[in-house]
Amino acid sequence: MIHLPELTSDCANCAALCCVGLTLDKGALFSFDKAAGTPCPNLRGHLCSCHETLEEIGNRGCVLYDCAGAGQRVTQMRFNGESWRDDPTLLPAMIRDFEQLKPLHERMKQLREAGQVPLPADLETERQRLLSKCARLWADTPALAADYDRFLSALAQHHTA
């Protein structure tokens, strides 16, 4: 049995990582430009102030967006529920980890969905192999990021000592 993380977005337990981390390009999906790393002007705390009217204001892209559960995983698992709102120095690492975890979560979600219909034995074996590999990477990636941050911090202390 492969242990998978939650693969559905849980915005209530996330620090709005998509709304701060992503680039928005004005066009068919978004009504304004926003740079990555800049909080969306519609964000209030961690909540979208126009959540009920996203389509009407031209932000269909926000409705379509799905982080596959990576946002709350980074916020809760890697940062213990802390937020860049309270400590802006966390923002680069939060965005970095979100960018690393999101593709893994998306792949796990696709692979899980692919298993909902019967597959030939060779495809099913490969599906399970890939799922297992993604799950291991998912487990290792935040731990590696934490080790990396600890190393950088120790290195900075070493250079200032």
What residues line the site for ligand SF4 (CB under 6 A)? Answer: 9-11, 14, 16-19, 40, 42-43, 48, 50, 59, 62, 65, 67, 71-72
- The pair of three-digit structure tokens given for residue 20, joined into one six-digit string: 């701060």
Of 13 and 128, CB closest to ligand SF4: 13
DSSP one-letter code for 14: S
Which is nearer to ligand SF4, 99 or 126 (by Cβ)?
Answer: 99
In angstroms, what is the minimal distance from the CB of 158 to ligand SF4? 35
Cα distance between the two ends of the chain: 49
Residue 39: CB partners within 8 Å, gap ≥ 6?
16, 19, 20
Residue whose CB is less far from ligand SF4, 40 or 104? 40
Q: CA quadruple 20, 21, 25, 27: dihedral positive or negative?
A: negative
Question: Minimum distance from CB of 128 to ligand SF4 (Å)?
Answer: 26
Name the residue whose CB lies closest to ligand SF4. 71
Minimal CA–CA distance to 46: which of 8, 93, 94, 108? 94
Is residue 13 a contact partner of residue 75, using CB atoms and an 8 Å limit? yes
CB of 109 to ligand SF4, least distance (A): 12
CB 10 to ligand SF4: min, Å: 6
